[in-house]
Amino acid sequence: MLLKVKVLVFLLGVTSICMFWRAYMPMSHSVWASNQRVSEEDQWLMKHLSKSVEPFLAPNFNLEEDAFNWWKYLQSEKRSFSTFKRTADELFQMFPHTADVKGSGPKRRTTCAVVGNSGNLKKSQFGPLIDFHDVIIRMNNGRTKGYEADVGSRTTHHVMYPESAMDLDNTTHLVLLPFKILDLEWVMKALGTGFSGK
């Protein structure tokens, strides 16, 4: 069961990053290529890229009860489908129903660094190379303070679960991966009236 949970968490993370990428990166050949020669691999990717993938958790996406029960089993959730629906509806009353994202164009961001929080970058001196990118995505509670020479100092998007939440500066976007009904409640408390404790 632990393996299933890890696989689901990994897939949710990849899906979230891909959805972010889709929202911020141009999808047409002429824009994506940005006056560069488009390779055969790029053409293959563009041909097979699905632009119709919907997010798992969105105000206009109706999750089927069977899918919820599968998800519930994976994470040992005790509460019912109706509790999930009520909580999700309440959560989406706090957010606009359409994302406020800028359109694509040749001057949109073109490079991205995804930085994990393992020790592999220690003594690498990759900090300046990481900071050079337009978009820098960091995961969980990886620290930068004191390690800037190896991991860089800039962060544009921080991906985390509520369990690894940390304070972010005003230049960083939060990409939160809620996994349980309790996580949805955490988001509402964190963005609403506040909460005490972890």
Mean pLDDT of 88-101: 76
DSSP class of residue 132? H
Q: Look at residue 28 in the predicted model and tell me its pLDDT.
A: 39
pLDDT value, residue 86: 92
What pLDDT, in 10s, does the model give residues 145-181? 999 999 999 999 988 887 777 778 888 888 877 778 8
Sign of CA dihedral 188, 190, 194, 198: positive
Sorting pLDDT into bands at 50, 70 and 90, what band is 111? confident
Q: Are 103 and 23 in contact, with CB atoms under 8 Å apart?
A: no
- Residue 195 in this model has a pLDDT that exceeds 60: no
**Position 125 confidence tier, pLDDT thresholds 50, 70, 90:** very high
Residue 96 banded pLDDT, cuts 50, 70, 90? low
Query: Average of pLDDT values for 96-121?
Result: 72
- Residue 130 pLDDT greater than 90, yes or no: yes
Q: Bridge-partner residues for 113, per DSSP?
A: 136
pLDDT tens by residue, 18-76: 655 555 544 433 333 333 444 555 677 667 666 666 666 777 777 888 888 888 888 87
> Please, which residues bridge with residue 175 across strands?
159
| CB distance 161 to 183 below 8 Å | yes
What pLDDT is attached to residue 59? 76
What is the C-alpha separation between 137 and 145, in angstroms, rounded?
A: 16
Question: Where would I find the H helices in the chain?
Answer: 2-24, 29-33, 40-48, 65-75, 81-92, 127-132, 148-151, 181-191
The domain segmentation of the chain, as residue ranges, is 110-181
Helix, strand, coil share of the chain (percent; to 5): 45, 10, 45
pLDDT at 5: 63
